[in-house]
């Protein structure tokens, strides 16, 4: 069994004391909780972008060139993304929910790993990458079906190799996307888009309302793996602070909410939460 350095042990102990002291945790998670599953995160320790910002809704809807670039990158990246598995941090939060300690788990991630780990009371704030929505008729299909259609329409592209990127896509540089074919909606022929909230797109109101309702019943907030630089998640921390709730954060590097935190633990998410993934805890 690996022993943590003394300072890290104290940090983990303070986190355990915080969790154990509150019966109804409102949990917010971000990209940092999924890095141990093999999904890269977006920002560095200073909260700055590690690569170009993600696709915006306006860009995606601007025309076929932008959509071809998105779906080509997505087709290559999905081979890896579809096989990722929950890690110890996901399993720890699922275990805490099963003991009745989590009021709600609000995730900014689109990977579905919380549900795969066994969490049931989850709001996927930004949607799920394993679903595809038609922008015209609203039909929902699975990303696996879209993957098969993309591969059948673009068989030679499957030979490409690329570095995996955070949004389930891949970094394809210096590639001409003009020949890439994008399958249309099988119901109406409309434009297909992953069922996730792009930058410039509003989070569905029902998700936000559900989160507010659960936050009103929580007695503390725990933020795991998020710098909170995106306002859609940060606003819940602002409200928790306004309500006087204690707020703990597990994150490597700065967060937008540092001045609001009751406790900040700069440890990898799995290391900080590993105790709760063990039977009997």
126 is known as an active-site residue: yes
Options 22, 90, 114, 126, the catalytic residue: 126
- Owner of token pair 């709730």: 245
**Do the Cβ atoms of 219 and 23 come closer than 8 Å?**
yes
Dist. CA 276–CA 112, nearest whole Å: 20
Sign of the CA dihedral with 252 first, then 208, 56, and 237 last: negative
H/E segment holding residue 106: strand 102-107
Q: Identify whether the C-beta of residue 227 lies closer than 8 Å to the C-beta of residue 254.
A: yes
Exposure class string for 193-222: b at 16+ Cβ within 10 A, else e: bbbbbbeebebeeebbebbeebbeebebbb
Helices (H) and strands (E) in the chain, counts: 9, 11
> What sections of 126-242 are H helices per DSSP?
143-153, 205-215, 231-242
Task: Write out the catalytic residue numbers.
Answer: 126
């Amino acid at each position: 069994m690996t022993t943590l350095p003394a300072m890290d042990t104290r940090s983990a102990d303070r986190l355990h004391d915080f969790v154990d002291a509150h019966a109804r945790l409102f949990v917010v998670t971000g990209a940092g909780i999924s890095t141990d599953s093999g999904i890269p995160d977006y920002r560095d320790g200073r909260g700055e972008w590690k690569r170009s910002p993600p696709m915006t809704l306006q860009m995606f809807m601007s025309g076929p060139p932008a959509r071809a670039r998105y779906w080509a990158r997505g087709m290559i990246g999905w081979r890896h993304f579809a096989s990722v598995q929950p890690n110890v941090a996901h399993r720890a939060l699922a275990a805490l929910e099963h003991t009745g300690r989590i009021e709600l788990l609000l995730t900014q991630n689109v990977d579905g790993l919380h549900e795969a780990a066994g969490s049931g009371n989850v709001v996927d704030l930004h949607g799920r990458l394993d679903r595809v929505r038609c922008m015209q008729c609203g039909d929902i299909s699975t990303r696996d079906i879209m993957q098969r259609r993309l591969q059948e329409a673009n068989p030679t592209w499957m030979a490409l190799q690329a570095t995996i990127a955070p949004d389930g896509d891949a970094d394809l540089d210096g590639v001409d996307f003009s020949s890439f074919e994008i399958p249309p909606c099988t119901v109406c022929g409309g434009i297909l888009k992953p069922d996730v909230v792009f930058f410039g797109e509003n989070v569905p109101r029902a998700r936000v309302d559900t989160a507010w309702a659960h936050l009103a019943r929580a007695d503390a907030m725990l933020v795991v793996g998020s710098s909170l630089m995106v306002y859609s998640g940060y606003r819940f921390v602002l409200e928790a602070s306004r309500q006087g709730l204690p707020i703990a954060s597990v994150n490597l590097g700065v967060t937008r909410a540092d001045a609001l935190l009751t406790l900040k633990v700069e440890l990898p998410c799995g290391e900080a939460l590993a105790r709760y993934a063990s039977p009997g805890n």
